[in-house]
Structure 1
C-alpha cells in the first residue's frame, strides 16, 4: 500500500508518496502566495493551500496504482488562524505564525489576565505567533468578522476538512493555539471564556495518528483516488518533523539546525517548565514534548559568511579552525532577538573578547560555538526537569558541516547522529498515515523500523571539559548585557 505525507508550509506545500517499507516513490512541491498587507503582518488565502494540495496530489500519484493509496496525513505550519462562517466559507485571510500584529493582545493576556493563569490553563505563555491573541485582535479590530465565526481551524486542519468534510485538529498542532489544556489534551474552558468563544466553535481534537474520516466523494473523483482513502489528523510541523527523524519515545532528542534552531525533546510525561522557558506541547506520538527555539542558528552562519566576510566557501573558512575549546572570543547569536530562554526581541548579536591577535578563523569559530552554546541553554533547562540526554539526532542545513556537528557534540556532551532520511515533516506525515491505516501498531514502532542512524559524531572528553568552562562564561553574558540591549532598542 501507499501513503501520502503532506507538509503544508509557509511558502509551499510538499507532498511525498511512501510505500509500506518507507521507500519514497515521489516528491512534489507546489508554491502559493504570501501576503504582507502592512509592515509586520503576514497572511495567506486558505483556498490557495487547497488548490496547491489537489494539484500536487494529482501530480504525485499520476504514475502509481491509485487503488493502492491507503491514507493521507499532514504536517502543518502552526498557529495560523483560519476562521469559517456558517457555510464553512473562509471569512478572512489566514493570519500566520510569523505575523507580529498581536503584541497588545499578548500583553493583555500575559500581564492583565496574568502569565501564571495563562500558563496554568494551557502550559504556555502568550506569544505573538499563537492563535488566541489573533482571535482577540479580530474581536477588537474586525468585530463583524468575529461575530461570523462558526469554526476556528489551523492551516493543515482546513486542508483535512476540505478533503474529508470533518472539522478536526490534533493535539500537537492545537498545543500552539493557546486554547488547549495541553496536560489533559482538551480545550481549556477558561481560555475560551477569555477569548469569547464556545467549544463548539473549535474542531474535535484527535491524536496525530488517528483517522478522522475518508475522502469526500467529489474530492475522490477529482483526484482519481478511492473514496476509501483514510484522512489521518497529522500534526504541527515540528512534532511531525520529529516523527520523520525518529524522535519519539522517552528522552529522544532532535536538533534542527536550520535558519532557526530547534531543540525538540520527546517525553512520556507532561511537566511544567519554570518561566515558560521551553514550550510544552503534546507530541504526535501520543505523548508530550519540550521545545526550545533559538531564532538565528544557520542564519548566523549565513550572515557572518555571506554578509560580513563575503564568502560562499564555508568549508574553506571552517578548515582554518584548529583550536576547539581554546577560543577566547564569544558570540551571542541574537541577530533577530531571541526566544528560548530569554523571550526578548531586544536581544542583539554580539562579539566579545577580541584582542589584537584575534583572527578571522577565531571569529568564525566563535560564531559556530555561539550557536551551540545557545542550543545548550535549552539543554540546561531540560536537565532541571530530570531529562537525561546522551545522544541527539541532527538535521537541517547546518548539519551538513562535520565541524559544526563536532562542536555541538562537545558543547552538549552528546553523541550526534545523522539518519537515513532528510525529508523530515513530509516523511513524518506519511509515517502517521501508515500508522493510522494500521500498518504499524504505534508511531514509535514505525519510526524504529523505518528510520536508521547512518553516521555518529562522538564527543571528546578533553574538549567537553574546556567547553564547560567556556559555557560558564557564555551564560553570564546575556544577563550582563540585557540592560544595554534594551537601551539600544530604544
Structure 2
C-alpha cells in the first residue's frame, strides 16, 4: 500500500509518496511564485497550483510504481481567498495569507462582537473574510460573479476531484466558522452578504472528500483513489509530527513562525491574539501563536548585506549574552500578540561596531523574542508549553535553536532525519480516509537530539526580552 501527500506551500508544492510505515518512496517539489503588485499585497495564480500538482503527481508516478496507491491527502497554506465562478474557474488571483490590504475591513469585522464570540479569534487582516469583503468593496463585479469561495488547498481539491469541499482546521481560519461547533456560521456569513451556498461542504480531515477524477487518473497513470479532507498547513504538520495529544507542541521556523499546541478542548481567548482553531481530528482543537517573519527576517538581512543566510549564520560562535543591538522583526506587520498590520520592523542601538555578524545575532534574537511573546500569549489562555519539536528550515541552525531554547525557557527536540511535516501529515490523513486507520498512526518522529536552555545565560536573555518589549511599546507610539 502507498499514499500520497500534497502540501501546497507559498513558494512550492511538495508531493510525497509513502508506504504504510511512513517510508518515503518518492518525492517531488514544484516551485511557485508570488506576485506583490502593491505594498501589503500578496497574490498567487490558482491555476499554477493545479499545473504544479499535475507535474508533481506525474513525477511520482514516473519514479515509483503507484499501482498500490490507496489514498491522497491535502495540506496547504491557510486563509487564502480564492473566488470561483460558476464554471469552477478562479475569477482573480488568490489573496494569500500574508496579504494585509484588508486591514480596514478586518478592523470593522472585529469591532462586531459576533465574530470573536463565534469564531474564538480576532479577525486578522490575513484571514479570508476581510479579504473577500475587500473584493466586494473594490472589485464588485468579481464579488457578484463569485459562486464559491475556496481556500487554496480546496481549489486544488476541486481540480483533483471536481468537489467543493473543505475541512475544519482550514475553515477555522476564515472568520466564518463556528469553531466550537465545527460548522459554518450562517449569522457571520450573512454579515458579509454571503450564504452557506457560497461555502464548500465541510468534512473532518480524515474523511473522504471525493475521488480522484477518472480522466486525471488515466492521464497520470494513477488509480482512482479517495482524497481525504486533509488539513491546513500547520494542523497537517502537527499530524505529521505526532502533535495531537493535549499539551504536545511544535515550533516552526519557516518563512513565518508558529508556536503550536494541541488541546483536547475548545479554549478561545481572542484578546491574546492567539489563534484557536479546529485540529484535523474530530473533537480536538489547537492554539497557535503566529509571527509573520521568521526565516523571512533572515532572508531580508541576506538581501540587505548581499550574503547568503547560510553564510550569515555559519560562524557565530558559542552562545553568548545578547548585545545592546535589538531587532524587531515586524517587516510586514505582526499577528500574535499585537494584531497590527501597519507596524514595521526596527533595528535599535546600532553603532560603529555593528557588523554583519552582530546584525545576524540581533535578527535571530529578535525572532526568538517574538516567539517569547507568543509563549506568553499562549500562557495567558492557560496553555503552558514544557517542550516542543523544532521544525522548519530555520531549525537547521543549531545556534538559532540555542537562542530560541534559552529565550523561551524550554527544550527543543530536533527530529532525526526524515519526512515529518505537512506533506507526511497529508499522506497520513489520506491513509486514514482510505483504510479506516485511526489517530494512532500520527506518531511523533524519532528525536536526534534535544537543545536545552542555557541556564547560565537565561537571565541575560530575559533582560533582553524585557528591553525588546519596551522597544515595541515605544515603536507603537511613533
Match of 2:128 among 109, 126, 131: 131
Per-residue displacement from partner, 1:390-417 (whole Å, max 9, x unpaired)?
1111122321121221121121111111
Aligned pairs (5 A) from 1:464-483: 464-483=458-477
Do the aligned partners of residues 85 and 65 (structure 1) sit closer, same or farther apart at CA in structure 2, a change above 3 Å counting?
same
Does structure 2 conserve the Cα–Cα contact (< 8 Å) formed by 1:395 and 1:422?
Answer: no
Match of 1:205 among 193, 202, 205: 202
Question: CA separation in 2, counterparts of 1:296 and 1:132?
Answer: 22
CA RMSD between the two structures: 2.6
Do the aligned partners of residues 95 and 482 (structure 1) sit closer, same or farther apart at CA in structure 2, a change above 3 Å counting?
closer
Q: SS at the partner of 1:318?
A: coil
Aligned to 1:389: 385
TM-score, with normalisation over the residues of structure 2?
0.90
Question: CA separation in 2, counterparts of 1:365 and 1:37?
Answer: 32
How far has the Cα of 1:341 moved from its partner? 1.1
Question: CA separation in 2, counterparts of 1:94 and 1:359?
Answer: 40
Do the aligned partners of residues 366 and 62 (structure 1) sit closer, same or farther apart at CA in structure 2, a change above 3 Å counting?
closer
Does structure 2 conserve the Cα–Cα contact (< 8 Å) formed by 1:317 and 1:364?
Answer: no
Q: SS at the partner of 1:336?
A: coil
Unaligned runs of 5+ in 2: none
Question: CA separation in 2, counterparts of 1:309 and 1:217?
Answer: 49
Question: CA separation in 2, counterparts of 1:90 and 1:423?
Answer: 32
Q: Which 10-residue stretch deviates more, 133-142 or 72-81?
A: 133-142
Aligned to 2:161: 164
Q: SS at the partner of 1:255?
A: strand
Per-residue displacement from partner, 1:193-245 (whole Å, max 9, x unpaired)?
11111212211111111111222322322222222x11101111122122222
Per-residue displacement from partner, 1:57-106 (whole Å, max 9, x unpaired)?
12211243333000001111222222333343433433333334323322
Does structure 2 conserve the Cα–Cα contact (< 8 Å) formed by 1:71 and 1:434?
Answer: yes
Aligned to 1:223: 220
Aligned to 1:294: 291
Aligned to 1:334: 330
Question: CA separation in 2, counterparts of 1:200 and 1:41?
Answer: 28
Question: CA separation in 2, counterparts of 1:151 and 1:432?
Answer: 25
Matched, 1:238 2:234: yes
Aligned to 2:311: 313
Question: CA separation in 2, counterparts of 1:272 and 1:439?
Answer: 31
How far has the Cα of 1:260 moved from its partner? 2.3
Paired residues, what number? Answer: 475
Question: CA separation in 1, counterparts of 2:254 and 2:331?
Answer: 15
Unaligned runs of 5+ in 1: 485-490
Q: Which 10-residue stretch deviates more, 85-94 or 212-221?
A: 85-94
Do the aligned partners of residues 475 and 142 (structure 1) sit closer, same or farther apart at CA in structure 2, a change above 3 Å counting?
closer
Q: SS at the partner of 2:333?
A: coil
Question: CA separation in 2, counterparts of 1:42 and 1:475?
Answer: 29
Aligned pairs (5 A) from 1:42-81: 42-81=42-81
How far has the Cα of 1:10 moved from its partner? 2.7
Question: CA separation in 2, counterparts of 1:202 and 1:272?
Answer: 24
Do the aligned partners of residues 309 and 254 (structure 1) sit closer, same or farther apart at CA in structure 2, a change above 3 Å counting?
same
Q: Which 10-residue stretch deviates more, 128-137 or 176-185?
A: 128-137
Matched, 1:446 2:441: yes
Question: CA separation in 1, counterparts of 2:364 and 2:58?
Answer: 43
Q: SS at the partner of 1:461?
A: coil
Does structure 2 conserve the Cα–Cα contact (< 8 Å) formed by 1:208 and 1:234?
Answer: yes
Does structure 2 conserve the Cα–Cα contact (< 8 Å) formed by 1:130 and 1:178?
Answer: yes
Does structure 1 conserve the Cα–Cα contact (< 8 Å) formed by 2:44 and 2:93?
Answer: yes
Do the aligned partners of residues 34 and 25 (structure 1) sit closer, same or farther apart at CA in structure 2, a change above 3 Å counting?
same
Aligned to 1:426: 423
Question: CA separation in 1, counterparts of 2:438 and 2:464?
Answer: 45
